Amino acid sequence: MIGLYPASRTFFTMAAGIVLFSFARIAEGHLWASISRDPELVFTFLTFSNHMQLLFTGFLIKPGFFSIFKIIQVTCSSGYAFQILVVSQWKNIKYLQCESTYKIDHEHSNIDTRLNQDNSALCFHNGREVLESFGYDTDSIGYCFCIMILLTIVIEVLSYIALISKVKRAK
97: confidence class by pLDDT, cuts 50, 70, 90 = confident
Q: Which residue has the higher pLDDT, 154 or 138?
A: 154
Q: What share of the chain is helix, strand, coil (3-state, %, to 5)?
A: 65, 0, 35
How many distinct structural domains can be found in the chain?
A: 1
Task: Read off the pLDDT of residues 34-81 as tens digits, 9 standing for 90 and up.
Answer: 988 887 888 888 888 888 887 777 667 766 676 677 777 778 888 889
Q: Which range marks the domain in which residue 150 is found?
A: 8-93+127-170
- Is the alpha carbon torsion for 145, 128, 62, 74 positive or negative? positive
Phi, psi of 137 (to 5 degrees): -105, 145
Instruction: Note if the pTM is more than 0.85.
Output: no
Indicate whether 119 belongs to any domain: no
Indicate whether 108 belongs to any domain: no
Indicate whether 152 belongs to any domain: yes
Indicate whether 146 belongs to any domain: yes
144: confidence class by pLDDT, cuts 50, 70, 90 = very high
Indicate whether 79 belongs to any domain: yes
- Residue 26 is predicted with a pLDDT of 92
Asked if 88 and 11 touch (Cβ cutoff 8 Å), the reply is: no
Taking 50 as the threshold, does the pLDDT of residue 82 lie above it? Answer: yes
